[in-house]
């Protein structure tokens, strides 16, 4: 990934994250939510999708691993928004760090660098995150595509009662994340109305009352 070419999409994602957080809580920044805790817990969920149990046969579900990594990026962006630096400045910092991936011998150990950093610094280690992307061969374009998709799913969840507790996460035997992966595969990220098409795809699939 080229540092200069990813600054603008990073800035876009920071703005989208701020909008999503504001939808959940209008004064989210003042709440001091434990975003770092969400990061290390998501690391555990991701490892389950990747497979780590030596006492049973497991095959990595890379699509779900990637989606969990996108979830972590949501929390990572939330960690970085500080109410002082502009989205442009934050995007420039992230762009530089994403160019310097931290890696271990394999994906699980690289993921543990990310989790350990979240626990010890209570922040987001973008370099370790980039290392995880590298280990599963996920490029920035895929991250951006999936982020926009998942951000749209998060808005959809809120619109359909996620916070009130009556949102259905499983439709027709599949989690909403799995439906999202299928919808994204059918769409072009370069469409000007890409986000709207993702939302409509979710509406069409969601069970009608």
The mean per-residue pLDDT over the stretch 36-52 comes to 93
Per-residue pLDDT tens for 65-90? 998 999 999 999 999 998 889 999 99
* pLDDT at position 99: 95
Checking if the pLDDT of 1 tops 70, the result is: no
Task: Find the helix or strand (DSSP H, E) in which 170 lies.
Answer: strand 170-171
Structure tokens at 87: 């989205």
Least Cα distance to 76 among 139, 121, 138 occurs for 121
The CATH code of the domain that includes 145 is 1.10.4010.10
Structural domain count, the chain: 1
* pLDDT at position 169: 93
Q: Provide the residue range defining the domain that includes 82.
A: 3-205
Mean pLDDT of the chain: 91
Burial classification of residue 53, based on how many CB atoms lie within 10 Å of its CB (0-12 exposed, 13-18 middle, 19 or more buried): exposed
The mean per-residue pLDDT over the stretch 132-158 comes to 93
* pLDDT at position 104: 96
pTM for the complete prediction? 0.84
Helices 3-24 and 140-159, interaxial angle, to 10°?
10
**Residue 100 pLDDT class (50, 70, 90 cuts):** very high
Bridge partners of 171, per DSSP, are: 174
Whole-angstrom CA distances from 96 to 90, 128, 130, 142, 156 are: 10, 13, 11, 18, 32
Higher pLDDT pick, 17 / 26: 17
d(CA 207, CA 90): 39
Structure tokens at 152: 């749209």
Task: Find the helix or strand (DSSP H, E) in which 22 lies.
Answer: helix 3-24
d(CA 65, CA 10): 21
Cα end-to-end distance, the chain, whole Å: 44
Those residues whose C-beta lies under 8 Å from the C-beta of residue 45, and which sit 6 or more positions away, are 68
Checking if the pLDDT of 209 tops 80, the result is: no
**Residue 3 pLDDT class (50, 70, 90 cuts):** low
């Amino acid at each position: 990934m080229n540092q200069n070419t990813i600054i603008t999409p990073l800035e876009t994602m920071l703005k989208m994250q701020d909008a999503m957080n504001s939808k959940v809580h209008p004064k989210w920044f003042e709440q001091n939510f434990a975003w770092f805790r969400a990061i290390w817990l998501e690391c555990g969920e991701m490892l389950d999708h990747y497979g780590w149990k030596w006492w049973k046969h497991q095959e990595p579900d890379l699509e779900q691993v990637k989606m969990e990594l996108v979830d972590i990026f949501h929390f990572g962006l939330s960690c970085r928004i500080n109410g002082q630096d502009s989205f442009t400045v934050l995007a420039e910092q992230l762009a530089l760090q994403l160019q310097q991936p931290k890696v271990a011998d394999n994906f699980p150990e690289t993921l543990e660098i990310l989790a350990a950093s979240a626990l010890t610094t209570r922040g987001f280690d973008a370099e370790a995150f980039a290392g995880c992307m590298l280990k599963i061969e996920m490029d920035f374009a895929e991250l951006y595509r999936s982020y926009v998709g998942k951000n749209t799913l998060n808005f959809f969840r809120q619109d359909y009662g996620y916070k009130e507790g009556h949102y259905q996460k499983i439709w027709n035997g599949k989690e909403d994340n799995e439906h999202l992966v299928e919808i994204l595969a059918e769409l072009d990220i370069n469409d000007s109305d890409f986000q709207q098409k993702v939302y409509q795809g979710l509406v069409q699939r969601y069970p009608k009352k």
